[in-house]
Amino acid sequence: MVLTTNWTGKRFKKRSTGWETIMHAPLPKLMKRLQEKGFCTGEGSPVAKRGWSVLDLDQIVRLYSSINRGIQNYYRFADNWSRLTRIQYILQYSLAHTLALKLKCSIQKVFSRFGRDVCIALKGHDGKPDRQVRYSVNRDWSTKREAFQAERGAIIDVLQTAIHMRTRSKLGKPCCICGEAGKTRQIEMHHVRHVRKWSGKREPTGFNRILRQLNRKQIPTCPECHRKIHQGTYDGLKLADLAYLPV
């Protein structure tokens, strides 16, 4: 038996077989990706991203923060989570290099001016600083395997979920051609693909012309009318000849 904690923080004992799944963030792959994107060298040394040096200071900080947060949010559950400090370090110093390139100064002067967390003060309409943009720095490197399960206890409205996920099928409707009700006979769906892709060079022909006028990819039909559609019997049918306009 081992002592563990569930998502609510309650501690309890459970059986342990001695085997456990270990989940690791692929650090070499992440490092290679940062190198390919121009944030560091092949050895992992941070470098300036020259393409971003033409942007405003706050834009540069926001871009680096979004990348750092995105990587950390994605791998928050990993057992080697604490090793992502290296990724955060590379992005932080690549940010400093980029700002130094833009301002034509040294990295030391960048940290001296904006702080170690690189905080940019933005001015309002009156010319006074009214808000800040700060590089997203994480300081909690404790492993949290259930990081993605924090909302497990949220209340779910089953009725609303069913409404949003219900099918849009019209199998309960009558046949749109002859009006035969689905309660007395089986209703089938006639499908056609890519109604909207037809252009002046390729006009729809046959019954597909009706679907183009309705802007529909499927309509309910009885088996007999469905067979006649494929036989071409209804190729000369007009929109006004339908028993009803399917919506």
Same structural domain, 109 and 26: yes
Same structural domain, 60 and 113: yes
User: Could you tell me how many helices (H) and strands (E) the chain has, helices first?
Assistant: 7, 6
Same structural domain, 145 and 218: no
Same structural domain, 48 and 80: yes
Helix (H, G, I), strand (E, B) or coil at 132: strand
Q: What angle do CA 87, 93, 97 make, to 5 degrees?
A: 140
- pLDDT of res. 170: 57
Span 201-213, average pLDDT: 76
pLDDT digits (tens, 9 = 90+) for 161-204: 555 544 445 556 788 888 876 555 678 888 876 655 555 556 77
Same structural domain, 171 and 143: no
Residue with tokens 């400090």: 85
Domain total for the chain?
2
Residue 161 maps to a domain: no
Among 2, 7, 1, residue whose Cα is nearest residue 145: 7
Residue 53 has pLDDT above 70, yes or no: yes
Span 73-87, average pLDDT: 92
**Least confident residue range of 27-36, 87-96, 136-145:** 136-145
Same structural domain, 46 and 118: yes
- Could you tell me if 241 and 213 are in contact, meaning their C-beta atoms sit under 8 angstroms apart? no
* Domain membership of residue 217 as a residue range: 167-241
Helix (H, G, I), strand (E, B) or coil at 197: helix
User: Of 149, 179, 196, which closes a domain?
Assistant: 149
Rounded to two decimals, what is the model's pTM?
Answer: 0.55
Beta bridge partners of 6: none
pLDDT digits (tens, 9 = 90+) for 217-241: 788 888 888 889 888 888 888 888 8
Among 136, 124, 17, 133, residue whose Cα is nearest residue 87: 136
| Lookup: tokens for 69 | 């947060």
